[in-house]
Amino acid sequence: MSDVLEVKKKRYEVSDEVKAVADEVMVTKNMDLKPATIKYVLVFPGINKKTAARCMLSNPMLKLFGECDYIIQVSGDLWNKLDDDRKKILMYHELLHVFPVQNAKSGNWDFHIRSHDVEDFFVILKNHGVDWISDLRTLFSSVYDIDDLDTLSL
């Protein structure tokens, strides 16, 4: 199975770099997301003009063939412009969406997407301030040549 897929005008690449950043974030932030399996994908030139990154639940077919519970997609051109600190914050944000819950009756794991506490996650705002998203929006706007900075979603 190839680690690159091209569909229409998009290129999807499984990313060892994004995974490495995610792994580092999980260690430094003491995040235990087991038993969830996560795949990391860069999308070139980007997911769309309003999305820097997103965490998605795998549907049953993706679980069967992709053997993962979550997929974290990141806009590739933006990722390549971010410094290491911004990459870690963006990945931390996406990892906070991962929400495995053990079913009390069956003992099986159910996988959910955690919603934002506020516009962002409180823990990110507390540790990195509100400016991190403004900086990301400005960079996103310059990379993808858009004017509407308020529409960026994560």
Task: Give the model confidence (pLDDT) of 38-72 as tens digits.
Answer: 999 999 999 988 889 999 999 888 788 778 999 99
What average pLDDT does the chain have? 86
φ, ψ of residue 130 in degrees (nearest 5)? -85, -15
Residue-level pLDDT at 1 = 43
Residue-level pLDDT at 135 = 76
Reply yes or no on whether the pLDDT at 94 is more than 90: yes
Domains of the chain, by residue range, sit at: 4-151
The CATH H-level (homologous superfamily) assignment of domain 4-151 is Metalloproteases ("zincins"), catalytic domain (3.30.2010.10)
What average pLDDT does range 75-85 have in this prediction?
94
Which secondary structure element, helix H or strand E, spans residue 71, and what is its range? strand 70-75
Residue 22 burial by CB count (10 A; 0-12/13-18/19+): exposed, middle or buried? Answer: buried
Least confident of 11-15, 93-97, 139-143: 139-143
Which residues partner with 113 through β-bridges? 98
Query: Can you say how many angstroms the Cα of residue 40 is from the centroid of all Cα atoms in its chain?
Result: 8
C-alpha span between 30 and 123 (Å, rounded)? 13
88 vs 137 pLDDT, higher one? 88
